[in-house]
Structure 1
């Protein structure tokens, strides 16, 4: 019998998705968490994206959730593939470029998704989602909200055994 397992999708998760997984245990994000734990997703993270997540986990509004930020980041480190921060380089003639996000803080997620060859960037951020057509056209990256991502890659289906 031949192993015909589908390739594991490369994905970048915006900080708001990590917060849903780590702090809120959001039902919509549970299939993503389960897929990460099972190795059914190749989540990519850069030092800049991880640092933003570290800062976000320390926001005062999350204190009441009593999250152990170090343990949360250790879990993220276990389920992600670290890559270097992408270089901010000027666009070369004929080369793909990364569309600019209105919110400069979110540019790192777009650049990472492109540079790392991610198939998906999962976000709930309106400024990021607004760039979905341009990211698809210029970078071949699907920018999608979590529910669409779960449906598209069938995380809501039971894993094949």
Structure 2
């Protein structure tokens, strides 16, 4: 997409179809091509919280787009768990997100399947109870069980809770913003 608004307007594309294109860019063909290329991701292991994933899947610009591209190129190794995959599916299926970005059931299935396929999926026992939000506990447990070095989140309950940061640090996990994580993998 060139970003030329005059050509976009004259081509007759609707706002919805233009907005849905970021999600469509992370399609099976592009990620399977990466997987078949034999390229190995670097040693950086990371858990990406749902809020960051959603931004990266629907936003074609800036840090979110760079994260999506880095994942597709194997710049880091993603650690995931079933609760995180389920939460991402639930968020992408919300009517306000589906309607605004034109996301279909097929899009959601494709994305979740590819993330699952190209990631280390760890089994959780639900034995971490450090946050008030059970979904946050699943993110933290995923990082620990998956031996991730980084947990990328925009969730204030995780980012600013010293008890959580200390607990994660004791397991070798650092909580970082998306911009900080991108600078880490750019240097790797």
- Please give the TM-score of this superposition, normalised by the length of structure 2: 0.67
Q: Relative to total residues, which structure has the larger helix share, 1 or 2? A: 2
CA offset at residue 7 of structure 1? Answer: 4.1
Task: Give the match for residue 52 of structure 1.
Answer: 87
1:143 is aligned to 175
2-structure distance, mates of 1:109, 1:83: 11
User: Which runs of no fewer than 5 residues in structure 2 stay unpaired?
Assistant: 1-39
Q: Which residue of 1 aligns with 2:165?
A: 133
Give the distance between the partners of 1:66 and 1:44, measured in 2 at CA: 27
| 8 Å Cα contact 2:57-2:65 kept in structure 1 | no
Number of positions where the alignment pairs a residue of Structure 1 with one of Structure 2 = 143
CA contact (8 A) 1:99 1:134 kept: no
Q: Which residue of structure 2 aligns with residue 120 of structure 1?
A: 150
1:24 alignment partner in structure 2? 59
Larger RCO (CA under 8 A, 6+ residues apart): 1
Preserved contact between residue 123 and residue 143 of structure 1 (Cα < 8 Å): yes
**Which of residues 102, 110, 123 in structure 1 aligns to 2:132?**
102
- In 1: Cα distance, 2:159 partner to 2:109 partner: 29
The answer to whether the aligner puts 1:65 opposite 2:101 as a matched pair is yes
Q: 1:54 to 1:134 in 2, by over 3 A?
A: same
Distance in 1, matches of 2:61 and 2:167, equals: 27
Paired residues of 1:57 and 1:69 also in contact (CA < 8 A): yes
Q: Offset of 1:112 from its aligned partner?
A: 0.8
Give, in angstroms, the shift of residue 26 of structure 1: 4.5
Aligned-pair Cα RMSD in Å: 2.3
Cα separation, 1, equivalents of 2:116 and 2:71: 11
Instruction: Show structure 1 runs of 5+ residues with no match.
Output: 90-97
Aligned to 1:76: 115
Contact 2:80 2:120 in 1 (8 A): yes
Q: Which residue of the partner structure matches residue 95 of structure 1? A: none
Q: Distance in 1 between matches of 2:184 and 2:90?
A: 31
Asked if the contact 2:154–2:177 (Cα under 8 Å) also holds between the matched residues in 1, the reply is yes
Verify the 8 A CA contact 2:153 2:177 in the aligned structure 1.
yes
